[in-house]
Amino acid sequence: MSSDDWYRNNKWNDEIEALFYEKLKRARSQRDQYIIIQTSHLSESFPLISLQLIDEYFEKRKDKFDDVRAYWAQSIAFMNLGDIDKAMEAYRAILKREEEFPNHQTTAYVDYPYIVATKAIESEYQNVLSVLTKHHSRLMFPLDKFKWHASFALINNDYEQAVLALDVAKVKRSGFRFHQDVGLVGKEHVNVIKVLCKIGT
């Protein structure tokens, strides 16, 4: 086991948990960070464990530096548990935290609306449309642009936005000199693309 594997576990059992807390006791200045990194590795496969660790982080954290990452892992964990309401609450918490600390930014401004749009969570429509409009200037990668246009298209059944989303989905190079394959629209969006094709024709 390498020196940092103890807080990057993708599996969880009594033995792993015991070792994690044994190591965590010795970590003082970076304790919060280690907990949050571990939660991010468990939020999909072990969402309940991830949420327990996040609760521990919020109860014992020394500052709010890692709050954004905590809310991010929380949103993923709740989504994997099928608790949409709490997942939406976590996404809103991310955006609120980003407003307070602009240097800590994520892609929640497009991920949150995209989830709302693709899952047709109508109670969130008004808020996510406001979020999309407010953060339009932050768009950078093709995937971000795709989610932005697709969200508008799906929520409003908007032909023009659907066409724009489909155009972005065809982009094969990011436009960044050294990271041409970063931030492209992947195969995991194929079902949404099919829906957009119906709207955009």
Of residues 84, 31, 86, the one with CA closest to residue 59: 31
CA atoms within 13 A on the CB side of 86: 12
Q: Give the pLDDT mean for 149-155.
A: 98
pLDDT of residue 176: 59
Q: Give the pLDDT mean for 119-144.
A: 95
Model confidence pLDDT, tens digit, residues 156-183: 999 999 999 999 999 887 665 555 566 7
Residue 191 belongs to a domain: yes
Residue 138 belongs to a domain: yes
Residue 150 belongs to a domain: yes
Please identify which residue in the block is written with the tokens 């609120």: 96
Model confidence pLDDT, tens digit, residues 36-63: 999 999 999 999 999 999 999 999 999 9
64 with 103: CB under 8 angstroms? Answer: no
Q: Give the pLDDT mean for 111-126.
A: 96
pLDDT of residue 29: 83
Better-scored residue on pLDDT, 116 or 104: 116
Residue 171 belongs to a domain: yes
Distance CA 95, CA 93 (A): 5
How does residue 91 score in pLDDT terms, banded at 50, 70 and 90? very high
Residue 151 belongs to a domain: yes
Residue 143 belongs to a domain: yes
Residue 157 belongs to a domain: yes
Host domain of residue 173: 124-201
Of residues 115, 182, 116, 104, the one with CA closest to residue 143: 182
pTM, two decimal places: 0.89
pLDDT of residue 182: 65
Better-scored residue on pLDDT, 186 or 172: 186
Distance CA 141, CA 185 (A): 9
Q: Looking at the predicted structure, is the pLDDT value of residue 28 above 90? A: no
Contacts of 98 (CB under 8 A, 6+ apart): 68, 104, 105, 106, 108, 109
Residue 181 belongs to a domain: yes
Distance CA 120, CA 182 (A): 28
